[in-house]
A and B are shown apart, each in its own frame.
Chain A
C-alpha cells in the first residue's frame, strides 16, 4: 500500500500538486439473517475504497474510488489536480501540523485493542448465532413472526500524507439484532433490540438480545393514546443517548460558525442543570467509537465538553477551529465515545415521585431542529403512574425546546459506556400531545 501511495504522490507532484493525502480502506463483511427459524439471507462482500486529496497551494480537491490499478489512479489524480486548479483558494482545508499529531500513533492504536483476532467467524458460525437469537422468540406464544441478524466486519485503514504522517489500523466489529412482531387479535406491535462490539466476547448474550426484543413486542401490545397535557418524561437507556446526539450536533464547530446551532452563543455558559458532565473519550480500549487521529492528522483526546452543567468547548476540526479562534479538538470525523456521567439515584428513585408521566422506549420520526432547539417527537413507550410503569401508549408526541430540556434534566446512575452512553434521564415540564384534554 505504501508503494501505491508513493506512486500517487509522485503522480500528484508531476501534475503540479504541492501536497496530498491518501486514505485507503479495505473491508470484509459477513451477514446472516434468519426469520421464523429458517435462513433468510446470507451476504458477503469485500470492498476497498480510497480517497486522494490534492492541494495546489491553497486550492484543494478530493477524488475517490475503488479501482487501485495504476491506470485508474492516473486518471483520478489528474482529475483531482484539474478540479483543484479550477477551484477557488481555500485557506481553511488544511492538515494538522506535526505538533498536533499523536506522539506514537501505532502504539496508542495497539493499546486500544480494537481488533478481535481470537474469533474469525465463518458464515456458518454467524448462522448458528442468528438461529440462537431467534430461538428465543420463534416459538414464543403471542409472537407472530420473529427474525434475527448477525454481522461481522473486519476492516483495515491506512492514511499517509506527503508531510510524512502515516498510520495503519485494523479493527473488527460484531453486531447482533433481534426483531419480533407480537399479535393479539387485531393489535400488532414490534420489538427490536440489538448490540454491537469490537470483540465477540463483549456482546450481550444471544439469549438476552432475543428475549429483550420479544419482551418489548409483547409489552407494547395494546398501546393506547393518553390525554394531552404537561408532565415529566423518563428516557430509558434505549432512547436517552439521542439527547447526546442532539448536543453533539449543536456543539459541532461547523454548525456553530455557520449559525446553525441553538448553542452558538453558549460557550462558557450554563446549558445543563448543575451536576451534569459530558465527556468525549476516543481512547477507551475495545469500544466502537475509539480511534487515534481524525482525518486531518490531529490526535484525538479525552475532552470534557460539559463540566457541572457549563459548556466548556466546541468540537472542532481545523477549519471550524480557525473560524472560532481556538485549536482543533480532533473532531474532523465526529465524536468518539461521547457519554454523560452518572447521577446519584437509581432509575427507580428517579421516577418514584412521578404521579403521571411518560416512559420512553424509543422515538420515531426525524430529530429536532438544531438551529432553534425546537423539539417534537413521536414516542413508543409506557405510561408512568405513581412512580410505576402501568401500560403501553401510542399516538403520543413529546415537545419542548432543547435549551429548556437540558436545563431541566436529571440523571440516574445506570451508565454503561459503549452500550448505553447516557444513563436513564428524567425531564420535567414536557408538553405531551395525545387525545384532546
Chain B
C-alpha cells in the first residue's frame, strides 16, 4: 500500500519546500483566523466510450492546483491557483488576508487518523488496448442477446486523485483516492442503463461475472421500458426497491440535514432535533468510512477522519451532518462531512454514503400486502427544494400492483411529495438493505462529488407521495 508520506513527499517536492517551512507559511497566512487550511490536489483521469459501434476519442487528463481558505466568524475567504510554488502560496495568501476582518485563535484539530479506505494505490491498471477489448466484448455480448437492440453504449472512467492538506496547527493529511466507474446503456425503443464502480482498480470490472450481470440488467430494463404502459396518476401505495432507490432518501431527506442549511435556517429540519421526523422503523445513517465505496474517504476535505453518523434513529432526528464551519456555528462537532469538488472550491457539508437500516419484512411480503399501488424498480434522478422539503423524482421503470401481484410494467411517471411526510408514511421496511452499485454523483452549489446511497425495500403508504403520470 502507498505510504501516506510518499504522497506528502510528492506534494512538498511540487511546491519545492519542506514540511516545517510550509507549516509556518500556512500559519503566517492564517494568523488570527478562526479556521482554514492549504489544500492541494493532483487528479489523473482517463475515459473511453464505445458508442454506435465506434470508440470515441479516448482521453487522458492531469489537473492540479491548490486552494487556501481563511475563515473568520461566519465569513469564508477562498483563493485558488494552479501554480505550485511557495511564492504563489504567499501571493495568494496576501489576497486573502485583509479581505476579511475579525480576530480569533485556531481551534486545535483532533489528530486522530482515519482508517485508510482503499486497498489499491492506483485505479489505472489497464492499458487502452485492454479497455477497448473489454468494451467491444460487452457490446457484442449485448447485441448478440437480442436483435431488437438498436444501439449499445459502454463507457469506462478511471481516476486517481492525490490530495494533500495542511493546517496552521501543523496537522498534515494526504492520500490517493482511486475511483472507477463503468456505464452501460442499451437502446431498444426506450433506453435501459446500468452503471457501477467504486474506489478500487479495474480488475473486478474485467470479471465477466460482474459486467454480465449489469449488461443483462441494462438490456432487461430497455426491453421492459420499451413495452411499459403509461403510469397511473394520483395517490397510492408506493414501494421502492432496495439499493439505488435510496436516492430519494438522499435528496428528499439527507440534504435537509446538512449543517449549512441548518445554520442558515433554510432547512425544514431546523430546531427539530429530538423530534419524530420519520416512522418508528426508520433509521438513517451517513457513513464515510465504508471501504471501497464511492462516497468514502479516509478523511474529509478539511482533514477530519470520516465516521459513521446516525442521523435518524427509529424515526427521531438525532444529528445533523457538519463540516467544521457549520459545527462551530451550531456548537457541535464536525462529522467528517466537509467535502469539495476540487481545489477550486471551499468545502461545504456534503453526504458521503447515506442509507436506511434494514427492517424485518421480506420484499415479497411487502408486495403481497399491497392492494393497489406501484412497485418502483428503477428510480431516476431527482431534486428537492430544501426549504419546503418538496421533492420530485423520475420513475424510470415501475410495476403496477393489484391485489398483491405485479401486473404490468409502467413508466413515464414522476413521484413528488415532501421528505418528512414521505418518511412519516413509511409503514414497511424490508430486510434486504443494499447499497447502490457505485454510480451516484451529487450536485450542490455548483460542486459535484461522488456519493453512495442505499436502502432496503420500503413501502410508503397511500398519501405519503403523489404519483404523477398521464393516466388519470
Using a CB–CB cutoff of 8 Å, the interface residues on chain A facing chain B are 35, 38-49, 53, 60-67, 72, 76, 79-80, 82-84, 86-88, 90, 92-93, 123, 144-145, 147, 181, 188-190, 223, 225, 228-230, 257-260, 323, 364-366, 369, 371-372, 374-378, 380, 394-401, 431, 433-437
* B344 near A47: Cβ-Cβ < 8 Å: yes
A365 partner, pick from B74, B80, B392, beta carbons under 8 A:
B392
* Total B residues in contact with A, Cβ cutoff 8 Å: 76
* B75 near A38: Cβ-Cβ < 8 Å: yes
A93 — nearest CB in chain B belongs to which residue? B57
Known: A365-B394, A372-B189, A433-B466. A189 touches B472 (CB 8 A): no
A84 — nearest CB in chain B belongs to which residue? B58
Tell me whether B318 is interfacial, beta carbon within 8 Å: no
Known: A38-B75, A365-B382, A369-B412. A433 touches B60 (CB 8 A): no
Chain A residues, Cβ within 8 Å of B314: none
Known: A64-B61, A83-B60, A364-B383. A399 touches B414 (CB 8 A): yes
B residues 158-199 near A (Cβ < 8 Å) are 187, 189-191
* A44 near B78: Cβ-Cβ < 8 Å: yes
Chain B residues, Cβ within 8 Å of A144: 265
B residues 236-264 near A (Cβ < 8 Å) are 264
In addition to A66-B82, A181-B266, A433-B233, 15 A-B residue pairs with Cβ atoms within 8 Å of each other are A35-B74, A40-B75, A42-B100, A43-B79, A83-B128, A90-B57, A228-B234, A229-B472, A364-B383, A366-B382, A372-B412, A378-B391, A399-B412, A399-B414, A433-B468
Tell me whether B137 is interfacial, beta carbon within 8 Å: no
Measured between C-beta atoms, what is the minimum distance from B66 to chain A in Å?
Answer: 10
* A66 near B75: Cβ-Cβ < 8 Å: no
Known: A41-B76, A433-B466. A181 touches B60 (CB 8 A): no
Measured between C-beta atoms, what is the minimum distance from B41 to chain A in Å?
Answer: 12
A86 — nearest CB in chain B belongs to which residue? B128
A435 — nearest CB in chain B belongs to which residue? B235
* A66 near B394: Cβ-Cβ < 8 Å: no
B77 partner, pick from A42, A47, A63, A147, beta carbons under 8 A:
A42
Closest 10 CB pairs of A and B: A397-B468, A365-B392, A378-B392, A374-B412, A376-B414, A45-B80, A190-B387, A433-B233, A433-B468, A62-B59
Question: Within the assembled complex, what's the spacing in Å between the Cα atoms of A44 and B344?
Answer: 9
Chain B residues, Cβ within 8 Å of A397: 233, 392, 414, 416, 466, 468
Interface of B is mostly: strand
Chain A residues, Cβ within 8 Å of B208: none
Measured between C-beta atoms, what is the minimum distance from A337 to chain B in Å?
Answer: 23
Measured between C-beta atoms, what is the minimum distance from A1 to chain B in Å?
Answer: 16
* A86 near B132: Cβ-Cβ < 8 Å: yes
* B187 near A259: Cβ-Cβ < 8 Å: yes
Chain A residues, Cβ within 8 Å of B388: 188-190, 223, 394
Tell me whether B65 is interfacial, beta carbon within 8 Å: yes
* B392 near A377: Cβ-Cβ < 8 Å: yes
B265 — nearest CB in chain A belongs to which residue? A145
B95 partner, pick from A44, A49, A76, A190, beta carbons under 8 A:
A44
Measured between C-beta atoms, what is the minimum distance from B451 to chain A in Å?
Answer: 16
Question: Within the assembled complex, what's the spacing in Å between the Cα atoms of A258 and B186?
Answer: 11
* B470 near A399: Cβ-Cβ < 8 Å: yes
Question: Within the assembled complex, what's the spacing in Å between the Cα atoms of A79 and B62?
Answer: 11
* B417 near A258: Cβ-Cβ < 8 Å: no
Tell me whether B56 is interfacial, beta carbon within 8 Å: yes
Measured between C-beta atoms, what is the minimum distance from B39 to chain A in Å?
Answer: 13
Tell me whether B151 is interfacial, beta carbon within 8 Å: yes
Measured between C-beta atoms, what is the minimum distance from A406 to chain B in Å?
Answer: 16
Q: Annotate B430-472 by CB proximity to A: 1 below 8 A, 0 otherwise.
A: 0000000000000000000000000000000000001111111
* B64 near A66: Cβ-Cβ < 8 Å: yes
Measured between C-beta atoms, what is the minimum distance from B347 to chain A in Å?
Answer: 12
Chain A residues, Cβ within 8 Å of B393: 365-366
A400 — nearest CB in chain B belongs to which residue? B470
* B56 near A93: Cβ-Cβ < 8 Å: yes
